[in-house]
Structure 1
Amino acid sequence: MNELTPLDKAEAAVKEASVDTAAVQLAFAAMEVAKMAQQQPAPAPACDHQHKQGRSTGEWLAIGCAVCVGSVGIAIGFIAFAIGGISIAILALVLRGMWRDMQKGR
């Protein structure tokens, strides 16, 4: 008496269909995930203004050289300024000494 009644057959079909439905849903979800992974990112919206290009290596080297030459020039200028200041201080001391000598000689 292993015969299945129509009710038992219907219950088995419902169980099989529910298992198949879950498997099909998982398969569809996996396919959607794979599609999303393969899609390219959306392009950036177009804009009307011009974008500046970055500076090239040659431009950066030229800027660096100009800064170095300018720095050396400024350093030489400060050295010249210091030498001038020292010269003025020595001149002032010499003139003061001469002035004192002249005052004593009177």
Structure 2
Amino acid sequence: MRMMLKVSLPVDKGNAAIKDGSLVTKIQSILADLKPEAAYFTEFDGKRTGLIFFDMTDTSEIPAVAEPWFLAFDASVEIKAVMNRDDLAKSRPGIERAVESFG
């Protein structure tokens, strides 16, 4: 299942990792294990934030996805199931059933 991981680093931990030169190395190492489809980095609510899209086959993988961010950066982590354009197109029968039943 396609997932979106939103990771927000506390400013003080991000600053410390930039100053000691470990920020990029740690992020690259975490991403190498995760093997994401895509990863984007920006700012949300004044924090360094990553939006990372990856495949998860089982919910038992959640600790392996989240713990590196917690341990490396004391990061806030959110994991959401997401759809791409093709997934949305495949969802049409379910949407139509919902409209028939509840619309």
TM-score (norm 1): 0.20
* Higher normalized contact order (CA 8 Å, seq sep 6+, divided by chain length): 2
Name the larger-Rg structure.
Answer: 1
